[in-house]
């Protein structure tokens, strides 16, 4: 099935708190025309020679103007080598997703986006996510819900 390797992409599930998240940042794309107006996780393609971690930090600085701390992976269904745990975006891309929080700056739609929205968990589907993001957002929702259901002093 993985006869041709996919181009790696990083996506950030930017939340307000890594341990007890209550909201997620959605970004509206401006290009290409086929994807314009769709909402996505900020991020982009991993450059040659770059680690995934470097790509997350670079993309979030370029696109939103923020420095971030990375949190847990949100694992997807792809298997094998560089795509292990990534999410398929059509036939050509594989997106690795991690939670992240802003440590410096305020997110702005600097590049590739024309709007940003912080979505409370109860309103995660108020925007029109890109088709391939839907299962990713469902996984993020499960992750957030599992965390917010715990008290900070709980055993789990």
Strands 93-104 and 39-40: unpaired
Cβ proximity to ligand 8DG, 78 vs 95, nearer residue: 95
Note whether 25 binds ligand 8DG by CB under 6 A. Answer: no
- Residue 7 φ/ψ, nearest 5 degrees: -70, 130
Cβ proximity to ligand 8DG, 19 vs 67, nearer residue: 67
Stretch that binds ligand 8DG, among 42-50, 67-75, 78-86, 116-124 (CB under 6 A): 42-50
Cβ proximity to ligand 8DG, 1 vs 34, nearer residue: 34
Residues 91-111 as b/e (b if ≥16 CB within 10 A, e otherwise) read eebbbbbbbbbbeeeebebee
DSSP state of 15: B
Among 45, 58, 73, 117, binds ligand 8DG (CB under 6 A): 45
- Residue 83 CA, distance from chain mean position: 16
Query: What does the binding site for ligand 8DG look like in residue numbers (CB under 6 A)?
Result: 9, 11, 35, 40-41, 43-45, 89, 93, 95, 112, 130, 132-133
């Amino acid at each position: 099935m993985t006869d041709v390797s996919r181009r790696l992409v990083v996506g950030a599930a930017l939340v307000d708190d890594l341990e007890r998240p209550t909201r997620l940042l959605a970004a509206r794309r401006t290009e290409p025309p086929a994807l314009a107006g769709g909402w996505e996780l900020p991020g982009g393609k991993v450059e040659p020679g770059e680690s995934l971690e470097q790509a997350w930090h670079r993309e979030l600085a370029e696109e939103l103007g923020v420095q971030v701390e990375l949190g847990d992976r949100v694992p997807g269904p792809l298997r094998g080598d560089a795509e292990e745990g990534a999410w398929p975006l059509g036939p050509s891309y594989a997106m690795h997703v991690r939670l992240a929080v802003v440590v410096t700056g305020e997110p702005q739609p600097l590049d590739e986006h024309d709007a940003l929205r912080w979505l409370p968990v109860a309103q995660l589907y108020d925007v029109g996510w890109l088709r391939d993001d839907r299962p990713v957002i469902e996984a993020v929702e499960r992750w957030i819900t599992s965390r917010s259901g715990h008290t900070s002093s709980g055993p789990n």
